A and B are shown apart, each in its own frame.
Chain A
Amino acid sequence: MPPLNFTVILPLLVLTIWACLLLLVDLFVKNKGITALLAALGLAISLGVTLSQVGATGTSFNNMVTLDGFSTFVNALLLVSGLFGVALAYGYVKRMGIERGEYYTLLLFSIVGMMLMAQAADLIIVFLALEMLSIPLYVLAAFARPNVNSEEAGLKYFLLGAFSTGFVVYGIALVFGATGTTSLAGIVAAASSGTSSLLLLTIGSALILVGLGFKVAAVPFHMWTPDVYQGAPSAVTAFMAAGAKIAGFAALLRVFSLAFPSLASDITPIIAVISALTMIVGNVIAIAQTNIKRLLAYSSIAHAGYILMAFVPYGQKDVVATSVAAGLFYLVSYVLTNFGAWAVVIALEKAEGKGLEIADYAGIGRKYPALAAAMTVFMLSLTGIPPTLGFVGKFYLFRAAIAGQFYLLAVIGVLTSLISAYYYLRVVVTMYMREGEPETTSEPWLNITWGLAALLTVIVSLVPAPLFDWASQAVLKLF
């Protein structure tokens, strides 16, 4: 048996040990702000380790986990999301009276699961990572107990999440039955040598797609999203929207692009339809929302559709690398914009769920010009209007879809973006054109989050090439 190469999972190890110690240290720390800072420090150290691994590759644990450019890119993005998540929670949990040290530990454990997902090279690890990221999120969603909404969100998320896990596990069992192995490389080999049962493999991969579709909130598996996003504490929702999406897409990429390329003719039309439906349903239902958290929930569904677009051409060898790189780029833009927008939501939220209606945003433009400007940037970016990162991301995505000759999908993408302008710009109009007496909370970490996110959203959109090149480099060795 070859010796274990722990450097492959070093960022994960650092974070896991840090989280365990944090749980212990938290017992003796009265001021939970210190726990938050320690959690952020752990994330920063892990981020440092991850960045030191840029360009490194390797496998370990009997080829069950892998380290490559893709996993490094995704891990870095996840750790940055974690830092944003801690920054948003720092003041929020105190203000809402739900300050408990476990919050940060659960956040760290969830990120560990997400990072493991990005490094998975075996279906067993995919399953393990899926659960490691989900179980802490179930608890976090219900973190504001005994608040009924939060508890309800937690239970709904838990039941549907566990339900989707059932699909993933059964799908894995069938894929194993078809190929006799759970290793992604082994599945490719068995599938291409034709020794596998095609029927079992197809049903199995479809079940895995259903399960992961639940996780990333793709239509028609999105029903839980608005309720959970609305009921969960806003800081948790922000993290959940970004982190779970990144991890879900990392899993889709690993499993579908790497293990099932031979099924492309069967799976590609399915992903294309799911992607189109997700864009349409998410954007159309968002129009009717008056609660900003529900609006952002439907917006997050719609964006899942855009990102799914990157996986549609996964069977076409010459397009897939650019397409997945465009997907990664879009994830970065979504993460930045998402955390910025949620930071603004948190700044306006008051106890007992007040300040969450779009009408409550009236008058911000006059009273808090900087906050209003930042929110405008995020809304423009979510719509996909230049000069914001959302525009560049959509441009790369649609270009990849056209290169893969999915013209209809690109057209649907553009049309649904137009529809989305209606409800995103309504928020902007409310902020600037309506009279109101809004009250916001100004907390240093919160202000840094939305300020930084807004700046990056604009600045990176002016020079997007380096980021896109990094994303392209990251996926280069995969295909």
Chain B
Amino acid sequence: MVPVSYYVALSAILFTIGALGVLIRRNPLIIFMSIELMLNAANLAMVAFARIYTVLEGQIFVFFVMTVAAAEVAVGLALIVAIFRTKHSINIDEMNSLKG
């Protein structure tokens, strides 16, 4: 069996890639995918920990995260579509009408 520390290390790497993606990328869709990667990194860690402790809480939490992430996607994509209709662009750098 693969040791749990491997899973945790992998999840940490995934989380870091996700966080960096949010900070570096300029397309909201890709930022959004990076956020999903962060959530899934947490899911992986949860499932791995649930395995060592042999409790179900971790796995149940994953279901919650997946469901909520789906709800978030619905709202996020709707926002992106609405912005695209108004501005004909979804580049984050062009979201600069608010500043001061």
Please name the residue on chain B nearest to A168 by beta carbon: B42
Task: Say which residue of A123, A127, A173, A227 sits within 8 Å of B11 (CB atoms).
Answer: A173
Interface residue range, chain B: 35 or more
| Structural contact, A173 and B49, CB atoms closer than 8 A | yes
The complex places the Cα of A96 from the Cα of B24 at a distance, in Å, of 36
Shortest beta-carbon distance, A345 to chain B, in Å?
A: 16
Chain B residues whose CB sits within 8 angstroms of the CB of A247 once the complex forms: none
| Structural contact, A231 and B39, CB atoms closer than 8 A | no
The complex places the Cα of A180 from the Cα of B56 at a distance, in Å, of 10
Shortest beta-carbon distance, A451 to chain B, in Å?
A: 30
Please name the residue on chain B nearest to A147 by beta carbon: B86
Residues 22-46 of B contacting A (Cβ, < 8 Å) = 22, 28, 31-32, 35, 38-39, 41-43, 45-46
Q: A131-B71, A145-B86 are in contact. Are A170 and B95 (CB under 8 A)?
A: no
| Structural contact, B57 and A146, CB atoms closer than 8 A | no
Q: A131-B72, A145-B86, A181-B55 are in contact. Are A166 and B100 (CB under 8 A)?
A: no
Please name the residue on chain A nearest to B45 by beta carbon: A173
| Structural contact, B98 and A152, CB atoms closer than 8 A | yes
Residues 287-325 of A contacting B (Cβ, < 8 Å) = 289-291, 294
Task: Say which residue of A127, A146, A149 sits within 8 Å of B85 (CB atoms).
Answer: A146
Please name the residue on chain B nearest to A132 by beta carbon: B68
In the complex, B10 has a CB within 8 A of chain A: no
Q: A162-B72, A176-B49, A177-B49 are in contact. Are A142 and B79 (CB under 8 A)?
A: yes
Chain A residues whose CB sits within 8 angstroms of the CB of B45 once the complex forms: 170, 173-174, 177
The complex places the Cα of A155 from the Cα of B42 at a distance, in Å, of 24
| Structural contact, A166 and B35, CB atoms closer than 8 A | yes
| Structural contact, A124 and B83, CB atoms closer than 8 A | no
In the complex, A215 has a CB within 8 A of chain B: no
Task: Say which residue of A146, A166, A174, A290 sits within 8 Å of B38 (CB atoms).
Answer: A166
The complex places the Cα of A180 from the Cα of B46 at a distance, in Å, of 10
Q: A145-B86, A181-B57 are in contact. Are A159 and B100 (CB under 8 A)?
A: no
Please name the residue on chain B nearest to A154 by beta carbon: B79
| Structural contact, B71 and A156, CB atoms closer than 8 A | no
The complex places the Cα of A146 from the Cα of B72 at a distance, in Å, of 21
Please name the residue on chain A nearest to B68 by beta carbon: A131
In the complex, A260 has a CB within 8 A of chain B: no
Please name the residue on chain B nearest to A285 by beta carbon: B100
Chain B residues whose CB sits within 8 angstroms of the CB of A170 once the complex forms: 11, 15, 38, 41-42, 45
Chain A residues whose CB sits within 8 angstroms of the CB of B57 once the complex forms: 124, 176, 181-182
Q: A131-B71, A158-B76, A172-B61 are in contact. Are A163 and B98 (CB under 8 A)?
A: no
Interface centre among B18, B65, B87 (most CB of A within 10 A): B65
| Structural contact, B64 and A124, CB atoms closer than 8 A | yes
Chain B residues whose CB sits within 8 angstroms of the CB of A169 once the complex forms: 38-39, 42, 65
Please name the residue on chain B nearest to A142 by beta carbon: B79
Chain A residues whose CB sits within 8 angstroms of the CB of B86 once the complex forms: 145-146, 148, 151
| Structural contact, B97 and A142, CB atoms closer than 8 A | no
Shortest beta-carbon distance, A347 to chain B, in Å?
A: 22
In the complex, A42 has a CB within 8 A of chain B: no
Q: A124-B60, A128-B64, A166-B19 are in contact. Are A151 and B28 (CB under 8 A)?
A: no
| Structural contact, A155 and B49, CB atoms closer than 8 A | no
Interface centre among A169, A172, A230 (most CB of B within 10 A): A169
Chain A residues whose CB sits within 8 angstroms of the CB of B50 once the complex forms: 176
The complex places the Cα of A61 from the Cα of B15 at a distance, in Å, of 31
Chain B residues whose CB sits within 8 angstroms of the CB of A177 once the complex forms: 8, 45, 48-49
In the complex, A274 has a CB within 8 A of chain B: no
The complex places the Cα of A177 from the Cα of B61 at a distance, in Å, of 13
In the complex, B13 has a CB within 8 A of chain A: no
Shortest beta-carbon distance, B80 to chain A, in Å?
A: 7
| Structural contact, A153 and B98, CB atoms closer than 8 A | yes
Shortest beta-carbon distance, B37 to chain A, in Å?
A: 9
| Structural contact, A148 and B87, CB atoms closer than 8 A | yes
| Structural contact, B82 and A139, CB atoms closer than 8 A | no
Please name the residue on chain A nearest to B44 by beta carbon: A173
Shortest beta-carbon distance, B3 to chain A, in Å?
A: 14
| Structural contact, A152 and B83, CB atoms closer than 8 A | yes
| Structural contact, B83 and A155, CB atoms closer than 8 A | yes
Chain A residues whose CB sits within 8 angstroms of the CB of B58 once the complex forms: 173, 176, 182
The complex places the Cα of A172 from the Cα of B28 at a distance, in Å, of 26
In the complex, A46 has a CB within 8 A of chain B: no
Q: Mark A339-378, 1 if CB is under 8 A from B, else 0.
A: 0000000000000000000000000000000000000000
Please name the residue on chain B nearest to A291 by beta carbon: B100
The complex places the Cα of A165 from the Cα of B82 at a distance, in Å, of 23
Cβ-closest 8 pairs across A and B: A166-B38, A180-B53, A177-B49, A173-B45, A169-B42, A227-B98, A173-B42, A170-B42
28 A-B pairs in the complex with CB atoms less than 8 angstroms apart:
A127-B65, A131-B68, A131-B72, A135-B72, A138-B75, A139-B75, A145-B82, A148-B97, A149-B98, A151-B79, A151-B87, A154-B82, A155-B79, A156-B98, A159-B76, A165-B35, A166-B18, A166-B39, A169-B39, A169-B42, A173-B11, A174-B45, A176-B61, A177-B45, A177-B48, A182-B61, A231-B97, A291-B100
